[in-house]
Structure 1
């Protein structure tokens, strides 16, 4: 089993800040608070897509940042929310936390989605903070940061398309041309002793996994040669490209070879002989190929087989073969391998968490809640300071500090800022 792995960093957009604004209209020079809310930050979303077969694209780009939300505006207008980023991954992709190695989600269903980095929440404008006793709030709420994390994408690579045929018909050469794989290639039988996998790029966000299945021989279903191992690999593929030496350069008959290989497939497992199959008539550049091709077409085309004349040496017909395999793959029934892993749990919302602790005699308060609160405070405004004090009291921070032994005049560090404690 081969596993494709990609490590990427994802970050949700920051929420826009709320606006501090005042109503200024004719005949109302001293209007009330008029600031609108900031827009929410965009999120990074993973989506399982049947059309994506590999993690190839994540090797070229490793950082994905969603759009920030816009700040609020005057006249109570909301800022625009940031756009989400949707990352399309193959069905069967396992998503892990890069730090802990724990499983976040297993995307094993078609069109399944998961928000991997949630965008920050937009801050409230000063119009939201007006009360009968606070009629002119000169502060607004800051937007929260988006989630940021490093993740690992893992995919059990099943060969979507398998190259089958007798030894030395050119399977490894075709694999090396269609993909970046570098299989061992030599002019003798059983050069390939285990499947070589390569990724074939068809178009942007479209690729498939191609395997060079080692050459089969007569008696493979009984274990002859390396038969059983090879046939097991063929079971996992969705589409087969049957490579034939159309030149008969080694004294072989392409038509006879075709039937012998399919006979071995059927004897091992009847289902194998019914897999979607196209024929690559290879070595068209050699003498005698045209005559053998006509004979092959006369025999197999009436039975519904598509034959593609190719030459691995001159690249003739290679692109046509690639697109034919892709189209057949899109029509074939997909097979996915899933992981048996224990998932880790993430709290849906840790935005309100607050940590109060003592370290080396210093009282420290941390957390997203107080960070957001601090970013919203206008320290030159009495109403804003009073709101800050009310919120930390309601959140229970004062009570927690007292439990830890804080006294009048002690320093309290809130998100790196130093405050003096007074009741």
Structure 2
């Protein structure tokens, strides 16, 4: 009999079936109104370090009666692959063993070698021997290969025809993201919003610090507008060729979690964040025009101090340099002042630039070296010249109100201090100067690539 209970069950079953059939996305994703796919937070798992045990195959035993040779054990290799993640390795067995060599026998006097085992790992992996904490390989390009455990030797007369065991060790796979640009800034500075404006990535955005708790990757696309791609008609689209070439170029951007004071001492998981800067080609400092403000509440720790923009910039320089002093020396950088959403903020940016051009940004490692030189040099002429240097006039770099680009060079008063390659004011919310920033990023990356090419040619000629 078709009663009320059966009717309710039928309705629930029918509705569930309809929704399941129309949903094309997994249960852990949803589509936003803008067409972006957003993954729920509880399913976001980013792994940048795992530990595995690798063992080479054992060598096969020989056959003394016929002087048979046992097969050698297989090797364990790591191969860089762009389509693999560390999450895939973590789901599999943490112990990997290559094939054993074949024993020599009456029917097979010479045993076959064991089969090598190739483990696919992400590009950007650093292989570290866990026991000695020593780096043995860097897999930075797809197809890079390294043997991490050798197989045992097959039995022959030198080892009394007894095959030896394969090499066994525990190794750590440490992933450092390979990106062209790394976004560096304090918490809640607008890095994720900027990544969303530059690319089609969908990082989590909220009005509290440490919204980003894992690195996010985005891709800047230098594509022509769709109307140009389909009809080759530029009359109805905005021409951006004055900012950059629209030639389908791709540049990757890494949005790193916010840094705090003491990150170089691994405070707040600082090393897990800072290590991803090492393999970027360009540093993009993202600083709020209002600096960092501790507004209180459950999202802010009471020990966090509010900082003006200049103090935030100096703090970021300190943390990066104290972590690895070669980063600031080798990489170009852009300072992007964010949240210039209205004319008042842009006037505030003008006042900030006037102060910045008169401020010396110290590099801790450079200052330490200079102090050592001053202590070793006891000539009195240094004290005489110091008075004259302080009397030099400082040029003001105020921007005119009619200038709407807000892009300029950085000219600090002291040449030994840190100098940005470019300074730009932007608004990720309104899109102000975003296209200009894309052009700057591409220009500096191309300049670095050309400089590196010239250096390699000089080294080859020498």
Q: TM-score band, normalised by the shorter chain? A: 0.3 to 0.5
Computing the radius of gyration over CA atoms, which structure comes out larger, 1 or 2?
1
Greater relative contact order structure (CA < 8 Å, 6+ sep): 1
Q: TM-score, normalised by structure 2?
A: 0.38
TM, length-normalised to structure 1: 0.41
- Report which of the two has the higher share of strand: 1
